[in-house]
Amino acid sequence: MNSAFEVPIVKRLEPASGHVELLVDSPVLAQGKPGQFCHILTPGTLRRPVSFSRLEPSTGLAGLLIQVVGSGTRWLSDRQVGDTLDVLGPLGRGFAPPRLDRPWLLVGGGTGIPPIYAALQAWRDQVSEPVAVVLGAKTRDALIMVKDVRQLGFEAELTTDDGSQGRIGTVMAPVQEWLAAHPRSQVWACGPTPMLRALHGATQGLSGPVQLALEQRMGCGIGACLACVVPAQPESPDGPAYRRVCTDGPVFEREELAF
Ligand SMILES: Cc1cc2nc3c(=O)[nH]c(=O)nc-3n(C[C@H](O)[C@H](O)[C@H](O)COP(=O)(O)OP(=O)(O)OC[C@H]3O[C@@H](n4cnc5c(N)ncnc54)[C@H](O)[C@@H]3O)c2cc1C
Ligand code: FES
């Protein structure tokens, strides 16, 4: 939806140090898809993109889990129950539903974990093959939504760069092990660009679909300013094609991206 509207905050959680989750009462946002985002007005004229961490169409609630990294996310994290947010959304292309007949690997890194949780919440009962969740972050404080994943009945494989929780290192070691054991897998992932680039390489030749959600810096969020473009396939003799993360993504099929 390209016109802004106000949504009330009905619940505020502090799931980890430096993180806040705001639940907003908005049947419009709650109809969004995992991987879509809303663009939230912060002081001044700039908006900040935040993915949906939960989508509950039956109750009209949508969740937004925010890590404080600068002034905009600090302001958002200070909002309280009863305050309203000025939002545009749901925006962008979300994840497509997984196929029923393939193992499903979900990979979330840092602030890429919330949309991965939303995908698991939406489609966990639909896949008849094994499902695996790998979550990674720099440190244990940034390893969010682990309890939520457990409450859905899944045991996430955890990694941290500093070894403060789970395996030391990136998500790639457990990802490689899973792919070696389940070569028919479909893979859904969201996280920082180096993680997605590594996954893009590791899934080359995989028979199942691979969907990668990018967290690129954004301006307008609605396709007008070109602040968010990334190199894409197919390349032409003049160089790579470009896609806008805000409207063509944030979720892309692996084959669309030129990492
Ligand atoms: C589609 C999309 C979905 C997102 N979903 C979430 C989410 O669910 N939860 C969440 O906490 N954050 C999410 N982000 C990132 C969030 O939008 C940025 O952290 C936020 O805009 C930073 O604003 P700021 O004013 O606090 O920080 P700024 O002062 O603008 O920047 C502070 C620091 O954060 C870095 N930064 C800013 N924007 C981004 C970005 N888009 N990606 C990576 N680094 C950035 C800057 O380089 C700088 O180092 C998402 C981004 C996109 C594009
Ligand atoms: S943020 Fe303006 S075109 Fe994508």
Whether pLDDT at 237 is above 70: no
Is residue 127 situated within a structural domain?
Answer: yes
- 52 and 126 in a single domain? The answer is no
- 114 and 209 in a single domain? The answer is yes
Q: Give residue 233's identity as a one-letter amino acid code.
A: Q
What would the two tokens of residue 46 be? 């700039």
CA angle, 131 as apex, 129 and 132 as ends, to 5°? 150
Cβ–ligand 1 contact at 67 (below 6 Å): yes
Distance CA 68, CA 52 (A): 16
pLDDT of residue 239: 67
Note the pTM of the prediction, 2 decimals.
Answer: 0.95
- 59 and 125 in a single domain? The answer is no
- 16 and 118 in a single domain? The answer is no
Cβ–ligand 1 contact at 69 (below 6 Å): yes
**Ligand lying closest to the C-alpha of residue 47:** 1
Is residue 237 situated within a structural domain?
Answer: no
What's the domain count of the chain?
2
Distance CA 86, CA 146 (A): 29
Atom of ligand 2 minimally distant from the CA of 218? 1
Q: Please, which pLDDT band fits residue 236 given cuts at 50, 70 and 90?
A: low
CATH of residue 143's domain is 3.40.50.80
- Mean pLDDT value of segment 219-236: 89
% of the chain residues with pLDDT over 90 = 88
For 121-160, what is each residue's pLDDT tens digit? 999 988 888 999 999 999 999 999 999 999 999 999 999 9
pLDDT of residue 251: 98
- Mean pLDDT value of segment 175-181: 96
Select the more confidently predicted residue: 237 or 72. 72
- 55 and 152 in a single domain? The answer is no
Cβ–ligand 2 contact at 221 (below 6 Å): yes
For 33-90, what is each residue's pLDDT tens digit? 999 999 999 998 789 999 999 999 999 999 999 999 999 999 999 999 999 999 999 9
Find the domain containing 181 and state its range.
104-215
Cβ–ligand 1 contact at 247 (below 6 Å): no
> What angle do helix axes 193-202 and 172-181 make, rounded to 10 degrees?
20
Across the chain, mean pLDDT equals 94
- 84 and 108 in a single domain? The answer is no
- Mean pLDDT value of segment 210-238: 89
Q: Answer yes or no: are the C-beta atoms of 133 and 114 closer than 8 Å.
A: no
Distance CA 107, CA 136 (A): 8
- Mean pLDDT value of segment 176-196: 96
For 7-32, what is each residue's pLDDT tens digit? 999 999 999 999 999 999 999 999 99
How many whole angstroms from 250 Cα to the centroid of ligand 1?
Answer: 13
CATH of residue 55's domain is 2.40.30.10
Atom of ligand 2 minimally distant from the CA of 229? 4
